[in-house]
Amino acid sequence: MTMAPDMQVTLRLPTRTLFDGQATRLSAVAPNGAFGILPNHVDYVTPIMPSVLTLQLVDGTEEIFGLDEGLLVKRGHRVTVVALRGVRGDDLDTLRDTVEASFIQMDEEERQARSALSRLEADMVRRFVELKRPGS
């Protein structure tokens, strides 16, 4: 592997890409604690805990993200993070509010989807029972 000043970082959610760009440093939290990755770090795979992930971009600015559980894979000069849910924050003070509002909305949408799925399953079982009745 050649030495590189930066790495390609992609943060993906089930429905969209949250971030895709170059960074010089990444910090996140795994089950065994916080860690950091630099561009020439050894290849690495770890689960990610619900926490804050920070990126130092090549222009020196910092991006912060609130992520739910997921997985981080570093291979070569590419880091891919996949998470169930995530939001980009402007700063740590407002990130908490953004995470709470966004995740509460997602939880409600998931609850509604599960409820609709349960109704569909119950309807399907009812229709199968009707099909099996003699003389129907």
Percent of the chain with pLDDT over 90: 51
Coil vs helix vs strand at 80: strand
How would you classify the pairing of strands 78-83 and 7-12? parallel
Question: What is the domain partition of the chain in residue ranges?
Answer: 7-90
35, 34, 32, 46: which is closest to 74 by C-alpha?
Answer: 46
Of 117 and 56, the one with more pLDDT: 56
**Which class does domain 7-90 fall in?**
mainly beta
**Once rounded to an integer, what is the mean pLDDT over residues 63-89?**
92
pLDDT of residue 11: 97
> What pLDDT sits at residue 45?
96
pLDDT score for 103? 62
Rounded distance between C-alpha atoms, residue 4 and residue 18, angstroms: 24
Q: Report the C-alpha gap between 83 and 71 in whole angstroms.
A: 7
pLDDT at 123 (0 to 100): 82
Does residue 104 have a pLDDT over 70? Answer: no
Question: Average pLDDT of the chain?
Answer: 86
10 Å Cβ neighbour count for 71? 12
Single-letter code of the amino acid located at 133: R
